[in-house]
Amino acid sequence: MLGTYNYGLVVISVLVAILASYTALDLASRITASRGKTARAWLVGGAFSMGSGIWSMHFLGMLAFSLPIPLGYDIPVTLFSMAIAVVVSGFALHIVSRDSLSLRKLTIGGVLMGLGISAMHYTGMAAMETHPHATYDPLLFAASVAIAIAAAIAALWIAFTLRGESPWMRYAKLGSAVIMGFAITGMHYTGMAAAHFSPDTICVSGPLVDNSWMAGTLTGTTLIILSVTLALSVIDARMISNTANMAASLQRANDELQRIALHDPLTKLPNRVLLEDRIEQAVAHAERSKAHCAVLFVDLDRFKMVNDSLGHFVGDELLRGVASRLHGLVRAEDTVSRMGGDEFVLLLREVDGVADAMDVASKALAALREPFRVHQQELYVTPSIGIAVYPDHGNTAQMLITRADAAMYNVKKGGRNDVRVFATEMSTFFPERLMLENDLRRALERREFELHYQPKVELENGAVVGMEALVRWRHPRKGLVAPDQFIPLAEESGLIIPIGRWVVEEACRQNKAWQDAGMPHLRVAVNISGLQFRQKDLLDTIAYALESSGLSPECLEIEITESVVMQNASDAIVTLEKLSTMGVHVSIDDFGTGYSSLSYLKRFPIDKLKIDRSFIRDVSSDMEDAAIVRATIGLAHNLKLRVVAEGVETAEQLQFLRALGCDEYQGYYKSRPVPPAEFELVLRGEIGLAPVTISPAVAA
Residue 129 makes contact with Mg ion by CB under 5 A: no
The CA radius of gyration of the chain, in Å to the nearest whole number, is: 48
Kindly state the smallest distance separating residue 556's Cβ from ligand C2E, in Å. Answer: 13
Binding mask 545-584 for ligand C2E (x = CB under 6 A): --------------x-------------------------
* 619 close to 657: Cβ distance less than 8 angstroms: yes
Nearer to ligand C2E (CB atom), residue 31 or residue 657: 657
- Residue 649 burial (CB count, 10 A): 19
Residue 500 makes contact with ligand C2E by CB under 6 A: yes
Residue 527 makes contact with ligand C2E by CB under 6 A: yes
Cβ neighbors of 386 (< 8 A, separation 6 or more) are 296, 297, 403, 404, 405, 406, 407, 408, 409, 410, 411, 419, 420, 421, 422
Kindly state the smallest distance separating residue 590's Cβ from Mg ion, in Å. Answer: 4
Nearer to Mg ion (CB atom), residue 304 or residue 608: 608
Per residue, the 3-state secondary structure of 423-481, as one string, reads CHHHHCCHHHHHHHHHHHHHHCCCCCEEEEEEEEEECCCCCEEEEEEEEEEEECCCEEE
Residue 487 makes contact with ligand C2E by CB under 6 A: yes
Cβ neighbors of 34 (< 8 A, separation 6 or more) are 42, 236, 240
**Residue of 99, 484, 516, 624 interacting with ligand C2E (CB under 6 A):** 484
- In the region spanning residues 629 to 658, those forming contacts with ligand C2E, defined by CB under 6 A, are 646-649
- Residue 481 burial (CB count, 10 A): 19
Question: Which range of residues in 27-35, 36-44, 376-384, 582-590 is near Mg ion by CB under 5 A?
Answer: 582-590
Which one of ligand C2E, Mg ion, none is in contact with 502 (Cβ closer than 5 to 8 A by kind)? none
Kindly state the smallest distance separating residue 328's Cβ from ligand C2E, in Å. Answer: 39
Nearer to ligand C2E (CB atom), residue 269 or residue 487: 487
Residue 99 makes contact with ligand C2E by CB under 6 A: no
Tell me the residue nearest to Mg ion as measured from the CB. Answer: 559
* Alpha-helical runs (H) found in 195-311: 211-262, 272-288, 303-310
Give CA 11 to chain center in angstroms. Answer: 63
Size, binding site for Mg ion by CB under 5 A: 5
Which one of ligand C2E, Mg ion, none is in contact with 649 (Cβ closer than 5 to 8 A by kind)? ligand C2E
- Residue 64 burial (CB count, 10 A): 23
Residue 527 makes contact with Mg ion by CB under 5 A: yes
Is cis: bond before 520, omega within 30 of 0?
Answer: no
Residue 510 makes contact with ligand C2E by CB under 6 A: no
**Residue of 503, 558, 641, 645 interacting with ligand C2E (CB under 6 A):** 503
Kindly state the smallest distance separating residue 483's Cβ from ligand C2E, in Å. Answer: 3
Angle among Cα 466, 467, 470 to the nearest 5 degrees reads: 165
* 558 close to 580: Cβ distance less than 8 angstroms: no
**Residue of 334, 505, 590, 625 interacting with Mg ion (CB under 5 A):** 590
In whole angstroms, what is the distance from residue 299 CA to residue 386 CA?
9
Kindly state the smallest distance separating residue 592's Cβ from ligand C2E, in Å. Answer: 12
Residue 568, burial from CB neighbour count under 10 angstroms (0-12, 13-18, 19+): middle
State whether residue 3 is helix, strand or coil. coil
Burial 611-633 (b: 16+ CB within 10 A, else e): bbbebbbebbeeeebbeebbebb
Residue 613 makes contact with ligand C2E by CB under 6 A: yes
In whole angstroms, what is the distance from residue 65 CA to residue 422 CA?
97
Binding mask 365-394 for Mg ion (x = CB under 5 A): ------------------------------
Question: Which range of residues in 27-35, 226-234, 619-627, 666-674 is near ligand C2E by CB under 6 A?
Answer: 666-674
Residue 666 makes contact with Mg ion by CB under 5 A: no
State whether residue 119 is helix, strand or coil. helix
In whole angstroms, what is the distance from residue 246 CA to residue 240 CA?
10
Nearer to Mg ion (CB atom), residue 402 or residue 527: 527
Kindly state the smallest distance separating residue 580's Cβ from ligand C2E, in Å. Answer: 20
Kindly state the smallest distance separating residue 333's Cβ from Mg ion, in Å. Answer: 53
Residue 562 makes contact with Mg ion by CB under 5 A: no
* 90 close to 43: Cβ distance less than 8 angstroms: yes
Q: Which residue type is seen at 397?
A: A
Kindly state the smallest distance separating residue 612's Cβ from ligand C2E, in Å. Answer: 7
Which one of ligand C2E, Mg ion, none is in contact with 471 (Cβ closer than 5 to 8 A by kind)? ligand C2E
Nearer to Mg ion (CB atom), residue 527 or residue 596: 527
* 51 close to 16: Cβ distance less than 8 angstroms: no
Which one of ligand C2E, Mg ion, none is in contact with 668 (Cβ closer than 5 to 8 A by kind)? ligand C2E
Per residue, the 3-state secondary structure of 179-200, as one string, reads HHHHHHHHHHHHHHHHEECCCC
**Residues near ligand C2E (CB under 6 A):** 454, 470-471, 482-484, 487, 500, 503, 527-529, 559, 589-590, 613, 646-649, 666-668, 673
**Residues near Mg ion (CB under 5 A):** 527, 559, 589-590, 646
